[in-house]
Amino acid sequence: MNVQMQTINHKIATEYLKFFYAPLRTEIIQLSIQDNFAGIIQSTINYLRGLIQESKVNIVAHHIKLMEMIYKSGDTYVKDIIENLFVRSFESFKKRAKISHWKLLYQYMPVTFQMIYDDQQKQDKIFFGK
């Protein structure tokens, strides 16, 4: 039996994020009222940055895997926002994390996100000399 996963649009993704990020629920609800999915993703990024600074690497790794679950089933808009905000933010995670913590995060990061992140780094190097 081959069951097709439902495509997740930004409204469905928002419902998942309300559940996954209970401490942010009020903020996510407020941003969803304004139909600001990019703002919701940015709030999750800010939350994870705080966890990185507290050295809560396992929790961050878990949240990255949850975001990948949304990404895999997301529509084009959801995927674009996650790639261009969430995955792009990994560079700031890397700067804030201890080297050993970043290596662990990267090691446990879903391959899909590793590939996107690596491609972004290559493109940045070509276009911006970073």
pLDDT in tens, 39-57: 999 999 999 999 999 999 9
Q: Among 13-22, 42-51, 116-125, name the one with the lowest average pLDDT.
A: 116-125
Distance CA 107, CA 70 (A): 20
- Confidence at residue 127, expressed as pLDDT on a 0 to 100 scale: 83
Distance CA 119, CA 7 (A): 25
- Confidence at residue 3, expressed as pLDDT on a 0 to 100 scale: 45
- Confidence at residue 5, expressed as pLDDT on a 0 to 100 scale: 62
Q: In degrees rounded to 5, what are phi and psi of residue 7?
A: -70, 135
| Tokens linked to 34 | 């304004």
Q: Tell me how long the chain is.
A: 130
**Given a cut of 70, is residue 63 above it in pLDDT?**
yes
Average pLDDT over residues 7-14: 96
